[in-house]
Structure 1
Amino acid sequence: MTYGTADLSEEGPGSKSTLASAVYTQLRDDLLRGVLETESKLRVEWVVSRYGAGASPVREALNRLASEGLLGRHDQRGFFIMPVSAEELEELTRTRCWMEERALRESIAHRTGEWEEQLVLALHRLARSQRRLPEDPASNNPEWEKLHRAFHRALIAACRSHWLVGFCDQLSDQASRYRLMSQASPAIERDDLGEHRLIAERTLDGDADGAVEALLNHYRLTAAMCIERFSQSEYPKASKTLRGRK
């Protein structure tokens, strides 16, 4: 994956934050898709060369990604890509289930007509999008990824806590990293759309227990499939670590 350097290297008033945002977006996408090898060091010079930006916006982007947990940081020794493991994924999934159960119950309890309409619309848009790219069935469609994220965000949007939504977003990023890293392995059949419809239907019916059950089963199945896919893959380091802790 290459990026042009012309647009990202130009300096000018107000350009620093724009450049940092561009590097942040591009590097974040690579991290979530598993393009970069886990546990590798990310030297500022290497990031500057790869993404075509100056050292200052690169450091800003790296610090932002570290604050979100997508990068680790050694004191005085720079940044590194966070490792992946079954143990980490299991902990992440448990925590995400705890947080989103509360957020979903709160949203159902404080439902509004507008929230219901937005959820129906999010499901409709997701249903109309193809998950896989026709030209590359092993890769997820970026548009589907955005709509998928929007659907899960819409589920908890009425919880009345931007803090809780923010924490859920951060956990969603981490979970997406595992899911996208494992997508190249042979897929296990599942009815993705059916799972999302069931979650939405129970939510819109006001069935909090049923909606939570459907949502948590959805996340747990995804985690189990990720571990299974990694155990069958040749993904460097990740498959070995996940097999050892399965």
Structure 2
Amino acid sequence: MSDARTSAVPATVTLSTTLVARLRDAIMRGELLPGSKLNLDRLRTAFGVSLSPLREALCRLENDGLVALIDQRGYRVTPVSASNLTEIIRLRIELEGLAIKEAIEHGDVAWEGRILAALHQLSRCKRGARSAAEQEAWETAHRAFHAELISACQMPLLRQFCATLHDQSDRYRRIFLKKHAPDRNVPAEHTALAHAVIERRTRDATRILREHIERTGRNIQAALLLSAK
């Protein structure tokens, strides 16, 4: 009997984790629109699961700021707003800047190699591609690159906070890219950032990171203001 209980727990965890990933993808891609109500019965049917793992997955996404529980009216995809984006930008600059400083202090040669490998992988992907598969490949490589920059940071909670903020920021950027073509040389920004980090130029690295995040934020803020008119 103990064996049965032991084997059942990982299956439940795996199902919930899989649901989190699938729901996150649907939110990030805009299949579940900002502010839209999440009908649990429809989601349960669509994903072929019971309510228990679905509720657990939604709770985890609520912790990540991607869904919100509205009183007793159920879950909604977190709305987008200029004020929320401003907060995300400020927090990303502060926390990722700190994480990069820590990573530069503790990173080794193998870490430097992983950054260059992630940069190369990202450079092989096409940003703003018309193909959904190509765009998704870029998104995956982009997230991996930014994660690798801070992977040598020896503060797990800080890395976790950065990952959560990156997801929230990416949601805004993906919404922006659906209606606007890439408008600047982002690959050059990534290259400059990577080299500043592996060359241990901490001040340059944090400045380039700040400017990189702020440029994206300004473009999205302008689009949000236009859509509100």
Same fold at TM > 0.5: yes
Aligned partners of 2:80, 2:105: CA distance in 1, in Å? 36
Structure 1 stretches of 5 or more lacking a match?
A: 1-11, 233-238
Report the AA paired with residue 223 of structure 1: G
**Structure (1 or 2) with the greater helix fraction:** 2
Which among 156, 161, 164 is matched to residue 162 of structure 1? 156
CA contact (8 A) 2:68 2:75 kept: yes
TM-score in terms of structure 1 length:
0.83
**Structure (1 or 2) with the greater strand fraction:** 1
> For residues 141-187 of structure 1, what are the alpha-carbon distances to aligned partners after superposition, in whole Å with 9 as ceiling and x for unaligned?
11111111111111111121111101100000100110111111122
Report the AA paired with residue 121 of structure 1: A
List 4+ stretches of structure 1 deviating above 4 A: 12-15
Identify the residue that residue 192 of structure 2 maps to in structure 1.
198
Identify the residue that residue 205 of structure 2 maps to in structure 1.
211
Deviation at 1:207, TM superposition (A): 1.0
SS at match of 1:184: helix
Structure 2 stretches of 5 or more lacking a match?
A: 1-6
CA contact (8 A) 1:41 1:79 kept: yes
SS at match of 1:133: coil
Which among 65, 72, 80 is matched to residue 68 of structure 2? 72
CA contact (8 A) 2:40 2:51 kept: yes
Give aligned-pair identity as a percent. Answer: 35
1:35 paired with 2:31, answer yes
Which among 123, 127, 132 is matched to residue 128 of structure 2? 132
Deviates more, 1:162-171 or 1:202-211: 202-211
Deviation at 1:231, TM superposition (A): 4.2
SS at match of 1:132: coil
Aligned partners of 2:187, 2:36: CA distance in 1, in Å? 36
1:96 paired with 2:92, answer yes
TM-score in terms of structure 2 length:
0.88
> For residues 19-51 of structure 1, what are the alpha-carbon distances to aligned partners after superposition, in whole Å with 9 as ceiling and x for unaligned?
333322221111112222322222311211333
> For residues 79-106 of structure 1, what are the alpha-carbon distances to aligned partners after superposition, in whole Å with 9 as ceiling and x for unaligned?
1111111111011100110001111111
Change in Cα spacing, 1:102 to 1:135, as seen in structure 2 (3 Å) is closer
Aligned partners of 1:35, 1:228: CA distance in 2, in Å? 23
1:121 paired with 2:117, answer yes
SS at match of 1:72: strand
Aligned partners of 2:179, 2:77: CA distance in 1, in Å? 21
1:108 paired with 2:104, answer yes
SS at match of 1:100: helix
Aligned partners of 1:126, 1:135: CA distance in 2, in Å? 16
Change in Cα spacing, 1:212 to 1:180, as seen in structure 2 (3 Å) is same
Report the AA paired with residue 115 of structure 1: W
CA RMSD of aligned residues (A): 2.0
Change in Cα spacing, 1:140 to 1:91, as seen in structure 2 (3 Å) is farther
1:25 paired with 2:21, answer yes
CA contact (8 A) 1:182 1:226 kept: yes
> For residues 87-144 of structure 1, what are the alpha-carbon distances to aligned partners after superposition, in whole Å with 9 as ceiling and x for unaligned?
11011100110001111111112231111111111111111122233546xx861111
Which among 78, 81, 86 is matched to residue 82 of structure 1? 78
Deviation at 1:219, TM superposition (A): 0.5
Deviation at 1:218, TM superposition (A): 0.4
